[in-house]
């Protein structure tokens, strides 16, 4: 899941030497951070900032864009871009990328649920540590798509939790360790979002039992429990990598959106989508009126919504997660927005974005062996993204020594990975026990990926965790429950959030282990989970007057969460909220630019990354 964030900027008194700390930015992940590897070509996607669809799963910029701006690098180009320079960074993320390989899902009969087969595992490659040690690596969010594969595949949430989460968080940790092995020093590992607060999930998995929802947030308890579990395991992985690990929290912030939407300015709440099936159901979501279909309804102001399209957040939600002061973002670190690595005619010396929407941590074979290959949206794993980076390296630096120096001053963001791996099984109706079994594999893949980057010279690496998918309008729609105990007090699906928390806890243990092993690096866990939960808990506090559990883009007015698979964002019949900045969720499974902005600020300045990206010592 890729992933999603907006942030305000540092003050004008910012030290110029700080903005030049990183030579490049490298990102690995899924739709939370994909900037064009899997092109979403239809408006209203991209309406807020770019005025056109760019491939980003939000109404505007993502967390990775704000991070690039914050450190003075350009927007990352997708690694599949042609005639583009990747010297300033690249984005390997793919929409729907899982953390686990294709084989894992194929063995479980879930391969058909994978949108892509690109995962987070990394191959061997030459070492260019000097280059990577000066770069920032954002590793994730991974796990969300893995869990989605299982949930949408019909697996029980508990099976997804027990089978997927340990493997996914392990794969993430291994990916981080591989990047460290390549030379990465500064890494951010985001957590997963509280999918139980997503309009898509709230619509698809609605329940007549009020106990299945949080009384305060309205999120689906079981789904949020999955996210919580993922993030808990991710934290454990982080603790194994580093005792004093910088955490960036997607889950808590988005969850707080659901609890107190008005606190963040989300006057339209956190559980309704801005774009999609406006007025359809409780969450403005309908699968027959998706945001990217012709004729979608869009809310007047996306900034008042947390959810953009039922599964992604609005730019406003992303902005809060990053949470910068209201100064021009490039002043923070002096880098432009990252171009996607597949962009044509771009110079990547200032960074590149390899993220792909639906990218996984695990390889295609993992899902294929489990009968899930058909559920993959794209064949873009963490491993394949790192391979793309390694192929690009000769164009970035002339020798191993030069590369090490270059990469040591670059920032790497690896993830979020894991979400698409889990989604592949979840959406294929696999049991949560099976999904939970994926977690260790996902963690292993992430660990290997990070190690590979460290081997090349990366020093600064950021590894994002999963979001609290139990707060996603998509999950709330697909997996709603009639049992009120299945929901948290803010209305997120408890089981899915617990699973995400488990993934994140596992990932943090992996990161901790990597940090101890590679003591000269700076590997940060980036938390998607916490800020997203906070958005869901109190959306208005952050300006999300549209709420945190309704999608901005999708099936506005369709159900409780503005999610309807017949009206997905940018598709025919979908609608878009008037102001995405008032929503946390963009399309039911991704956040709005505003939400990403807040998350990015939390990563850059704290408290969602400890130490924060801006804190060097």
| Beta-strand relationship, 297-300 and 275-276 | antiparallel
Q: Which of 19, 30, 31, 33 is flagged as catalytic?
A: 31
* pLDDT reported for residue 296: 65
CA distance 453 to 450: 5
Pull the structure tokens for residue 81: 């871009």
Question: Is 31 marked active-site?
Answer: yes
**DSSP type of residue 339:** P
CA distance 606 to 603: 5
DSSP string across 56-111: -SSSS--HHHHHHHHTB-PPPPEEEESS---SEEEEEEEEEEESS-HHHHHHTTEE
Residue 129: which pLDDT band, with cuts at 50, 70 and 90?
low
Nearest to 66 by CA among 57, 76, 55: 76
Cα 308 to Cα 517: distance, rounded to the nearest angstrom: 40
Q: Which positions ≥6 away from 412 have C-beta within 8 Å?
A: 25, 26, 27, 28, 132, 135, 136, 137, 138, 139, 179, 184, 186, 187, 453, 458, 460, 461, 462
- Name the range with the highest mean pLDDT among 63-67, 295-299, 349-353, 548-552: 548-552
Structure tokens belonging to residue 294: 């012709």
The rounded distance, in Å, linking the Cα atoms of 92 and 2 is: 11
Active-site residue among 186, 292, 301, 309?
309
Q: Which two tokens stand for residue 183?
A: 């030379």
- Over pLDDT 90: what percentage of the chain? 24
What tens digit of pLDDT does each residue of 302-335 get? 888 888 888 788 888 877 766 533 333 333 455 6
Round the CA-based radius of gyration of the chain to a whole number and report it. 19
Q: What is the pLDDT of residue 20?
A: 42
**Residue 417 host element (H or E):** strand 411-417
Tokens of 207: 């329940």
Active site residue 431: no
**pLDDT of 413 higher than 70:** yes
Q: Which two tokens stand for residue 260?
A: 């107190």
456: annotated active-site residue? no
pLDDT in tens, 172-197: 888 887 777 777 777 778 888 888 88
From the list 75, 312, 456, 590, the catalytic residue is 312
Write the DSSP string, 458-498: --EEEEEE---BTB-HHHHHHT--S-GGGB-BTS-BHHHHH
Per-residue pLDDT band at 241 (split at 50, 70, 90):
low
Residue 162 pLDDT grade (very low, low, confident, very high; cuts 50, 70, 90) = confident
> Distance between CA atoms of 440 and 174, rounded to whole angstroms?
9
Q: What mean pLDDT is reported for the chain? A: 80
Q: Is 252 helix (H, G, I), strand (E, B) or coil?
A: helix
**What is the model's pLDDT at position 601?**
86
Question: CA 544 to CA 536: how far, in whole Å?
Answer: 9
Q: What SS3 class is residue 390?
A: helix
Cis amide prior to 38 (ω within 30 degrees): no
Q: Strands, E, within 85-235: which ranges?
A: 88-98, 110-118, 135-142, 186-190
Give CA–CA dist 108/106, Å, rounded. Answer: 5
Give me 36's structure tokens: 């064009």
Helix (H), strand (E) at residue 426: helix 419-426
Least Cα distance to 382 among 105, 101, 55 occurs for 101
Q: How many CB atoms lie within 10 A of CB 26?
A: 46
* Dist CA 379 CA 395 (whole Å): 24
| Nearest of 574, 567, 611, 547 to residue 44 by alpha carbon | 574
d(CA 240, CA 506): 9
Compute the distance between CA of residue 352 and CA of residue 333 in angstroms, rounded to an integer: 15
Residue 212 has pLDDT above 70, yes or no: yes
Say which residues have a Cβ less than 8 Å from residue 398's Cβ, sequence separation at least 6.
Answer: none
Segment 152-158 shows an average pLDDT of: 87
Q: What is the pLDDT of residues 246-285, one digit of tens each?
A: 333 444 556 667 666 777 778 887 888 888 887 777 888 8
Give the model confidence (pLDDT) of 500-556 as tens digits: 999 999 999 999 999 999 988 999 999 999 999 999 999 988 889 998 999 999 998
Structure tokens at 286: 């309908």
Per residue in 584-614, pLDDT (tens digit) is 999 999 999 999 989 998 998 888 997 788 7
pLDDT at 184 (0 to 100) = 76
Mean pLDDT to the nearest integer, 134-154: 83
What was the pLDDT predicted at 294?
65
Is the pLDDT assigned to residue 7 strictly greater than 90? no
What pLDDT, on a 0 to 100 scale, did the predictor assign at position 122?
Answer: 40
Q: Inform me whether the pLDDT recorded for 438 exceeds 50.
A: yes
Give the C-alpha separation, 205 to 529, whole Å. 20
């Amino acid at each position: 899941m890729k992933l999603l964030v907006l942030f305000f900027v540092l003050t004008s008194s910012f030290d110029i030497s700080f903005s030049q700390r990183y030579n490049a930015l490298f990102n690995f992940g899924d739709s939370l951070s994909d900037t064009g590897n899997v092109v979403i070509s239809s408006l209203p996607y991209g309406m807020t900032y770019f005025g056109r669809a760019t491939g980003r799963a939000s109404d505007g910029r993502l967390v990775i864009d704000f991070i690039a701006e914050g450190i003075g690098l350009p927007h990352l180009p997708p690694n599949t871009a042609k005639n583009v320079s990747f010297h300033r960074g690249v984005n390997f993320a793919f929409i729907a990328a899982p953390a686990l390989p294709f084989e894992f899902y194929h063995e479980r009969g879930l391969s058909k649920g994978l949108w892509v087969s690109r995962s987070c595992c990394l191959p061997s490659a030459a070492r260019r540590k000097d280059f990577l040690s000066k770069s920032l690596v954002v590793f994730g969010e991974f796990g969300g798509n893995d869990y989605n594969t299982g949930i949408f595949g019909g697996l029980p949430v508990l099976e997804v939790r027990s089978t997927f989460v340990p493997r996914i968080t392990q794969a993430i940790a291994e990916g981080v360790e591989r990047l460290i092995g390549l030379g990465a020093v500064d890494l951010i590992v985001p957590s997963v979002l509280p999918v139980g607060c997503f309009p898509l999930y709230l619509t698809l998995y609605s329940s007549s039992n009020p106990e299945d929802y949080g009384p305060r947030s309205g999120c689906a308890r079981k789904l949020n429990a999955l996210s919580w579990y993922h993030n808990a395991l991710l934290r454990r992985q982080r603790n194994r990598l580093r005792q004093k690990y910088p955490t960036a929290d997607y889950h808590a912030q988005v969850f707080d959106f659901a609890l107190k939407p008005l606190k963040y300015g989300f006057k339209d709440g956190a559980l309704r989508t801005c774009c999609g099936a406006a007025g359809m159901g409780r969450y403005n979501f309908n699968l027959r009126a998706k945001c990217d279909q012709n004729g979608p309804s869009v809310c007047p102001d996306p900034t008042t919504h947390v959810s953009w399209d039922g599964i992604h957040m609005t730019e406003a939600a992303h902005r809060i997660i990053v949470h910068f002061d209201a100064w021009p973002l490039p002043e923070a670190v002096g880098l432009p927005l990252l171009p996607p690595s597949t962009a044509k005619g771009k110079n990547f010396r200032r960074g590149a974005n390899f993220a792909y929407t639906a990218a996984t941590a695990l390889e295609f074979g993992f899902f294929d062996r489990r009968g899930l290959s058909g559920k993959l949206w794209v064949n873009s794993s963490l491993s394949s993204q790192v391979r793309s980076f390694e192929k690009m390296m000769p164009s970035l630096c002339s020798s191993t020594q030069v590369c090490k120096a270059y990469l040591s001053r670059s920032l790497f963001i690896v993830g979020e990975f894991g979400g698409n791996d889990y989604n592949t099984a979840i959406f294929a109706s696999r049991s949560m026990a099976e999904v939970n079994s994926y977690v260790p594999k996902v963690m292993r893949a992430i660990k290997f990926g990070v190690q590979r980057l460290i081997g090349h010279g990366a020093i600064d690496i950021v590894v994002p965790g999963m979001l609290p998918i139990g707060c996603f309008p998509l999950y709330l729609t697909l997996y709603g429950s009639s049992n009120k105990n299945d929901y948290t007090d803010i209305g997120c699906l408890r089981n899915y959030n617990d699973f995400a928390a488990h993934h994140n806890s596992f990932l943090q243990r992996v990161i901790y282990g990597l940090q101890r092993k590679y003591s000269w690096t700076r590997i940060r866990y980036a938390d998607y989970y916490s800020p997203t939960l906070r958005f869901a808990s109190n959306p208005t506090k952050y300006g999300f007057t549209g709420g945190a559990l309704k999608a901005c883009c999708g099936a506005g007015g369709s159900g409780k969460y503005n999610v309807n698979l017949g009206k997905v964002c940018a598709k025919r019949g979908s609608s878009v909220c008037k102001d995405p900045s008032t929503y946390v969720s963009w399309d039911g499974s991704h956040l709005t630019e505003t939400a990403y902005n807040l998350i990015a600020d939390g990563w850059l300045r704290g408290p969602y990354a400890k130490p924060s990206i801006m804190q060097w010592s």
